[in-house]
Amino acid sequence: MLRRFLRKFACKRYRDAAELITPVQASATALPFVNGAFGALYLVCALYEIQDRDAALAEFRRVLRRGVLLAVVEFLPDPDYRCAARHGALSSPGGSPTR
């Protein structure tokens, strides 16, 4: 997936945007970023691929600035899809993981 991303951004059309992006491959439960490094986090068909979701959600919260967006998108064709009600059960209104 990372190679595909890099190929796409290597083309002339995206070259300016690519200069602003540094792709990093890392574990979702041990992200190599400082606390509060990001203003948003966007996951597409990824949350249910992570074995320790509670640890990953805690790590996402750590690298996000306070009061910003964590967007989780899952699609029905994804074999690991869970209903929207399950997404809500993964976090409280304050953003902390719950069981």
Which structural domain, as residue segments, surrounds residue 38?
26-90
pLDDT at 98 over 80: no
Asked if residue 53 is part of any domain, the answer here is yes
- Between these two residues, 21 and 61, which has the higher pLDDT value? 61
| Number of domains, the chain | 1
Q: What is the CATH number of the domain that holds 86?
A: 3.40.50.150
Which pLDDT score is estimated for 84? 52
Asked if residue 64 is part of any domain, the answer here is yes
3-state secondary structure string across the chain: CHHHHHHHHHCHHHHHHHCCCCCCCCCCCCCCCCCCCEEEEEEECCHHHCCCHHHHHHHHHHHEEEEEEEEEECCCCCCCCCCHHHHHHHECCCCCECC
Instruction: Please tell me the pTM assigned to this model.
Output: 0.63
Mean pLDDT value of segment 19-40: 88
Asked if residue 77 is part of any domain, the answer here is yes
Distance of CA 2 to the CA centre of its chain: 14
